[in-house]
Amino acid sequence: MEKNLDVLVSAEDIQKRIATLARQIQQDFSGRQLVVVGVLKGAFIFMADLVRHIKMPLACDFLRVSSYEKDQSTGVVRMDFDMTQPIAGKDVLLIEDIVDSGRTLSYLLKHLETKKPASLKVCSLLYKETGAQIKNRVDYIGFDIPNRYVVGYGLDSEGLYRSLPYVGAFKGS
């Protein structure tokens, strides 16, 4: 374990929660044409674990946005690259690592709605208690966490810590 981190969500708790979320998603999308869209880079580990628990045929795609520089939000969301397959008429599940201010999610929802999916739901591993008024747009939440900068399980600090199996926050933050 990293000495400079407090563990906020253990690897075991993440895996248990993912199994529960996957069961719920499977029930909700039963018999539908599901496209799971991961937001890179932060959601790659969460999405890889989640889709392996969803026991139904599904397609995976990715897009990449950025808004953070040196662990600070720039306030401007930029699309680095878009997904490749059409989603018109399909049921889309957007996978986020964390919702903080909600700016990224608002941007992505607007962007994906223009592609005319049959439905658009959102699953985020983490939801930060920042008072962002977007919680009602997040259909599946792994964990509510305090307003601290977190790393691990896909989330980074200046490119590092993504490969940790748990979510931690820097001590004293």
Answer yes or no whether residue 81 interacts with ligand IMP by CB under 6 A.
Answer: no
Answer yes or no whether residue 102 interacts with ligand IMP by CB under 6 A.
Answer: yes
Minimum distance from residue 67 beta carbon to ligand IMP (Å): 6
What separation in angstroms does the CA of 35 have from each of 42, 98, 158?
18, 20, 30
Is residue 108 within 8 A of residue 39, CB to CB? The reply is yes
Minimum distance from residue 42 beta carbon to ligand IMP (Å): 4
Is residue 154 within 8 A of residue 137, CB to CB? The reply is no
Among 21, 22, 37, 103, which residue interacts with ligand IMP (rule: CB under 6 A)? Answer: 103
Residues forming beta bridges with residue 141, ordered by sequence position? 124
Minimum distance from residue 113 beta carbon to ligand IMP (Å): 17
Answer yes or no whether residue 155 interacts with ligand IMP by CB under 6 A.
Answer: yes
Answer yes or no whether residue 67 interacts with ligand IMP by CB under 6 A.
Answer: yes
Nearer to ligand IMP, 29 or 62 (CB): 62
CB contact set of 93 (below 8 Å; sequence gap of 6+): 25, 29, 34, 35, 36, 37, 121, 122, 123
CA angle 172, 98, 143 (to 5 degrees): 80
Answer yes or no whether residue 94 interacts with ligand IMP by CB under 6 A.
Answer: no
Positions that interact with ligand IMP (CB under 6 A)? 42, 67-68, 73, 96-105, 149-151, 155
Q: What is the set of active-site residues? A: 100
